[in-house]
Structure 1
C-alpha cells in the first residue's frame, strides 16, 4: 500500500496583486492546506487569498516584518501530521510536476531536509534586471549549501533546528540551511522546473536596493556563521567591503594628495574585462557595479549593530 504523505504549503506575501492569484492557483489540488501569511498588504491581497481558499494569517503590524517571521508564523500553524511543506513566495507560481518530483526525492532520501529546483523569471525579456535575476537562479544541480525562498522541506528537520530566525531581514534560507547541515541534514538541488518568479524589476533603483539587501545579508550571515569551518558568506562580505568601500575610499583619499592616484580607478574596468570572459560583458558590468551596493549594505549592517537596533526590511518593489 502506497504511503500517504501529508504536504502543506506556506505562502508569504505583501502587496503581490495578480502574482498572488497565480501563486495560490498553482497550489490548488497539489497540497492539503494552503496557509497565506500577509505582511501588511494594502492592495486587497488578504481578501483575494480568502476567495481562493487559503487560510489567512495577518502579521501584527506593530512588530517588524520579515520574511522569516512570516514563514515561521505559517509553519507553526501546521500540525504534527504535516510531513512536508512547500514554502513559496507570493510572487512565485509552482510548476507542473514539481511537488510530485520533490516529494519522491524526499521519500527516497530520509536524511535530506530540503529540495529545490529551477526557479525562472516569468518575464526575463521585460528588463535587463529580470534577465540578470533569471541567470542568478540557475544554480548547480546536486548537493547544495542552501536553497532560496521556494523549496519543499521536511517538517521534522525544521522542528529539530527551531525553524527560521525571525529577526533576519534577508538571507534567512541560507542561514537555516547552515543549521540544518550542521545537524546532519542534506540540501539538494534537483534538475526539475520548480517555480515561475516575477521579480518585476524595471528600474535601476530597484535593482540597487535588492543588491544592497544582499550585502546586508552577507554581513549578517558572516557575523552569525563566519567562524571556521563554515565561513558562511565571509568571502562575499570581504569582496563587497574591498571593492565597494575600502578600495574606492583609499583611491579618492590618495587623490586628495596626489591626483594621479585616480588612475587606479582603471582597476574597475579591468575587473569587468576579467569577469566578462566567464559571464559575458553585461553581467560582468553589473557584478562590478553591484559591489558598491553590496558594500553599502555591509556598512548598513555594521552601523545597525553599533546602534544596537534592528534594521527594517529593505524592499525593492
Structure 2
C-alpha cells in the first residue's frame, strides 16, 4: 500500500505582554490546531511566561533593552522556528482566540490559490457591546473577501515566503503587516481574505482617549508607509495619508485662517457635518461621525511622523491599551 502523505506542518507565533487570561485563552485555542506554538513575551509581569510554559508552549523572551515593536516580536517568533521550519506559520496577537477550524479552512484556501502566501479571514471583536469603540473596531475588521492588498496581525502565511523577504520590518511601530504584505506581493505572492471565522479579538477600548491614540497611531503608520513605498506603483497609503492631512489639518486650518479676515468663512466648517451625512448612508451615523472625527487624530499622527523625520527622532511605541 502507498504511504500516507506527510502531514503539512503548521506552527503558530503568539506575541503579547501582560495579557493574562486572554493569553491563556489564545494558547488554548491553538493547541490541537497546530504542531507547536511559540510565545514571544515582551516583559510580562503578570505570570504569563510560567503559565505558557506550564501549557507546553515554547517561550521566547524578547530583549527589552532594545526598543519594542510588535514587528520585532513577530520576527523573534518565526526565527525561533527555523531549526525545524513549518510549511505554514499562523501569526496571532495574544489578545485573540483562534476559531475552531480556522487553520483547516486557511489550508484549503492555500490549495485553491497556489500563488497565495498569506491567507486571512474574519476577525471579530469578542465584546462589541462593551463600547462604541469596540463596535467600531469590529466594523473595521469586516473587509471584503477575495484577493487583498494586506492582512492584519492575525494571518496564516507560507513560512518560506516570509523568510525570503526577511520577515517584518522591526523599525515600524505600526503598519508592519501591510508593509510585509507589500513586499510579499512584490516578490510574486498573493494575499487572500476568505469567508471564514478566524479570530476573536478583545480590543478592550472603553475610553475616548484609547480610540484617539489608536487613530493617531494609524495616521503615523499611513505617513510612514507612504514615505517608504508611496512612490511605487501600489501608491502604498498615499491616499490614506492625503485624506487625513486634508480633512484633519489643511481644510480646518484654511477655514480658520480665512475666517480671521472674513468671519463668514467659518461656515466652511459645515463641510464636516455634510461629510458625516454622506458617509452615514453607507455605514450609519456612529461610524460616519467617528470616521470623520478620526481624520483629526490621523492627521496628528501623520504630522508627528513628518516632524520626527525632520528632526531625526524615532517614535517609541504608541499604545492604546
1:148 aligns with 2:152: yes
How many aligned residue pairs are there? Answer: 317
Aligned match of 2:295 in 286, 291, 294?
Answer: 291
Compute the displacement of 1:107 (Å): 3.6
Compute the displacement of 1:15 (Å): 1.8
Match of 1:114 in 2: 118
Compute the displacement of 1:309 (Å): 2.1
Answer with 75-84 or 275-284: which moved more: 75-84
Match of 1:91 in 2: 95
Compute the displacement of 1:251 (Å): 1.5
1:18 aligns with 2:5: no
What is the TM-score with the length of structure 1 in the denominator? 0.97
Match of 2:139 in 1: 135
SS of alignment partner, residue 35 of structure 1: strand
Aligned match of 2:80 in 77, 80, 86?
Answer: 77
Compute the displacement of 1:108 (Å): 4.2
Compute the displacement of 1:42 (Å): 2.5
Contact 2:117 2:158 in 1 (8 A): yes
Match of 1:305 in 2: 309
* Structure 2 spans left out of the alignment, 5+ residues: none
- Structure 2 matches for 1:1-317, cutoff 5 A? 1-79=4-82, 80-317=84-321
Q: In 1, distance between residues paired with 2:132 and 2:258? A: 35
SS of alignment partner, residue 42 of structure 1: coil
Q: In 2, distance between residues paired with 1:69 and 1:308? A: 21
Deviations 1:228-281 (A, max 9, x none): 411000000000000101111112222222222211111110110111111111
Q: In 2, distance between residues paired with 1:218 and 1:146? A: 13
Deviations 1:79-130 (A, max 9, x none): 3531100100000000011001112222443321000000010011111111
Contact 2:85 2:159 in 1 (8 A): no
Q: In 1, distance between residues paired with 2:5 and 2:55? A: 30
Q: In 2, distance between residues paired with 1:87 and 1:228? A: 27
CA RMSD of aligned residues (A): 1.1
